[in-house]
Amino acid sequence: MGIYQDVFKHWNLNHVINACGTKTGIGASRVRQPVIEAVASILSEFVSIDQLQARASQVISRIIGTEAGCVTACSASALTTGVAATITGSDLAAIEKMPDCGTRQNRVAIQMGHMINYGAPIPQAIRLSGAELIPLGTAALCEVYHLEEALLEGLASAVYVVSHHTVREGELPMDLFIETCHRYKTPVIVDMASEYDMKTPVELGADLVIYSGHKFMCGTTSGIAAGNRRIVQATYLQNRGIGRVMKVGKESIVGALAALELWSEMDHTGQLHAEQKILDLWTERLKNQSGLSLSLHQDWTGNPITRLKLSVDPAEAALYAWELSGRLAGRKPAIIVRDDLAEKGCLFLDPCNLNKDEAQLVADAVIEELNKANQELPDKRLTWSAVKRHRSLDPLKWPTDD
C-alpha cells in the first residue's frame, strides 16, 4: 500500500465527527463513492476545459432547468464572478480590466439583512468584483421603496441571499424582489449555496442562481452558477480576468457534475428515514440527561433536514452551551456540533453526515462531557464575553504545533 493510504496517520491529523451539517471549515460533506470514481477517472488525463464546461452547461441546464450553467471554484467565487458578469457582460476588454470598472455601471444592491458572514463577508465577495455595494433598508426591515430608490439611481444587478444566517424579519420576499428588479430591467443573482430548492428561484425568473457543489450535493469543492445564457457566458468569461485567481480544475468540474447528477436521482425519502433513526437514537440516549432539554428542529430555510436541538440549562448542566460545544470540539476525535445560537443556550445535532456508529459516539461524548462538568468547580466556567474575545484571538495563533 502507498504511504498516503492513511493521510490522518501520515500527517498526524485529528479525525472529525461531523454533527453540524455541511460546514466548509471541516470539509463540508462526505464525497459519495461514485463522485470519487468520476474524479479519479480524469485526474491522470487531459481535457479541454472549455469543452468540459460546455458539457457542464448541458448537465446543469437539464437538471436545474436554466438556459446555461458553469462550474466555479466554490459558491463564493460564483458570486464574485457572477456580479462581475453583470458589470462587464461579455466584453473581453472590460473583463481584462476588472476590478477597474471604468465608466460602467457597477452599483450592486443587497438587503442589509442579507449582508451576512458565511465564513467571510458577503459584501466582500461582491466588492471583489469591482462593484459598489448598495445596502437596502436596515438589518430587520427592507421595503419595496428602498429597492426602488436604488433601482431608479441605476444598478448593474441585485443580489438575494437565502441562508439561515440572514435576518428574515422584514425582508423582501424573493418573488417580490425579482419582480421589482425586472420592472427596472435589472438582473437578479440568487445565492442558494446551501439550499436544496432548485426550482423556486428559476421559476421566479432569477437571472443567475448559485449553489454549492460540495455541501448538500456531497461533491468536490465547487460552485454551480445556473441561469440565462448571456449572464452565464459572461460569468464563465471572467476566467480571462479576475476569475483566474479562483479558477476551478478538471477534478472539481467533474466532481460537481457527478454530484449534481446523483443528487437528481437520489432516494431522498430513504435518506430522511436514515436520518430519523439517528435522531431517535440521540433522543433516547440524551432524554434523561440533567441540564438538557430536547426538541426536534426543522431547518431554518425549509431544507428537508430535522436536527435535534439541545437547550442547555447552565445551572443544571454545570456548563454553558458554548462550553459544551468547545469541549466536544476539543476531543479526539473532534466532535463538531452546530453552535450558531450557543449564546442563547442552544446547540443543534445534525444527522446528515453521520453513520450510526458515529451517532453513538456523539451521544457518548455529550454525556461524558456533562458528567465531567458536574465534577468541576463553578468558577471554571467560561463566560460568553471570554468566548467572543477568544474568537478574535484564536485565528492569529495559526499555524499551531498540536
Grid cell at residue 59: 448537465
* Stated pTM of the model: 0.93
Q: What is the mean pLDDT of each run of 10 residues along the chain (402 residues)?
A: 83 92 86 95 97 98 97 97 98 97 97 94 97 97 98 98 93 98 98 92 97 91 97 98 96 96 91 93 94 93 93 92 94 94 95 93 95 77 86 86 66
Domain with CATH 3.40.640.10 in the chain: 31-265
Phi-psi region of 355 (alpha: psi -120 to 50; beta: other; left: phi over 0): beta
The distance from CA 293 to its chain's CA centroid, rounded to whole angstroms, is 28
pLDDT of residue 379: 63
pLDDT of residue 401: 67
CATH class of the domain at 31-265: alpha beta
CATH code of 7-23+268-397, in short, is: 3.90.1150.180
Domain with CATH 3.90.1150.180 in the chain: 7-23+268-397
